[in-house]
Amino acid sequence: MKPILSFENVELYYDHVYALKGVSIEVGQSETVALIGANGAGKSSILRAITGLAPLRSGQIHYQGERLDGTPACDIVRKGIAMVPEGRRVFPYMSIKDNLLMGAFTRTDKAGVARTLESVLERFPRLRERYGQQASTLSGGEQQMMVIGRALMAKPKLLLLDEPSLGIAPKLVQDIARSIVAISRDEDVSVLLVEQNSRMALSISKRAYAMSTGSIVVEGESKALMNDDRIKAAYLGSEV
């Protein structure tokens, strides 16, 4: 089976400073893949490349067997790719309902949108409880649930998650991790997860790539990487 997403020797620069250097990765159908590494390693640059926010210097990106790089960013959501950005980026003065519906802006099937909205509220009961509240009144963890729900409103085939555990209370991190597993399983969605919380990322993904200074330095099955001495020393040693 062909991967839903593949990078082939991708290089990406910001001005004259490289962010990605010869990066090759794959995400399979209905697979959760983690990108781990320190801040500045190049993880988020991969997401920017996928979403058309940063042009490639060289290499190619393919999605569902078709060339993706060079596609206008505004068209990428319509292809079935949804992004949950770092830092949540909610519409603070809009209600939870309206924040969620913003995720369905490319859809015209009203009945389908209503079914997806109900599915999101079933998955995140706290959002139903606070449905009419302004997004600014939610806790950080609740806002993260909302922006994941907002991405799901687009009915994506590929979900990109950028640091979903950042700034979240430990208990809610566990809830969000379980939600990611359930989304991939129940919605038949492929997930590319960018995380500095390497232990969490490896525990819920099938495969992982470890990055350093714009390159892939280790890759493999996540369970195996949890016991890899290189990963333990570089990425897991200081985590609890």
Tell me how many domains the chain contains.
Answer: 1
* C-beta atoms surrounding 93 within 10 Å: 9
* Polymer length in residues for the chain: 240
Helix/strand/coil for 174: helix
Cα(57)–Cα(214) distance, integer angstroms: 13
How confident is the prediction along the chain (240 residues), in pLDDT tens digits per residue? 689 999 999 999 998 899 999 999 999 999 999 999 988 899 999 999 999 999 999 999 999 999 999 999 889 999 999 999 887 688 999 999 999 999 999 899 999 999 999 999 999 999 999 999 999 999 888 999 999 999 999 999 999 999 998 888 888 888 899 999 999 999 889 999 999 889 999 999 999 999 999 999 999 999 999 988 888 887 776 443
pLDDT at 238: 47
Helices marked H in 12-109: 43-50, 73-76, 96-102
At 169, list the tokens. Answer: 């209370």
pLDDT at 83: 93
pLDDT at 240: 36
* Residue 23, domain CATH: 3.40.50.300
At 147, list the tokens. Answer: 């922006």
To the question of pTM greater than 0.95 for the whole model, the response is no
Strand locations in 89-239 (E): 158-162, 190-195, 207-212, 215-221
How far, rounded to the nearest angstrom, does the alpha carbon of residue 195 sit from its chain's CA centroid?
A: 9
- Closest to 92 measured CA to CA, from 40, 122, 37, 133: 133
pLDDT at 196: 85
pLDDT at 2: 80
- Enclosing domain of residue 168: 5-236
pLDDT at 170: 84
Strand partners, 221: 207
At 235, list the tokens. Answer: 């990425």
DSSP state of 79: G
Q: Using only C-alpha atoms, what is the Rg of the chain?
A: 17
Which H or E run includes 27?
strand 26-27
Helices marked H in the chain: 43-50, 73-76, 96-102, 110-123, 125-129, 140-152, 170-187, 198-204, 222-226, 229-231
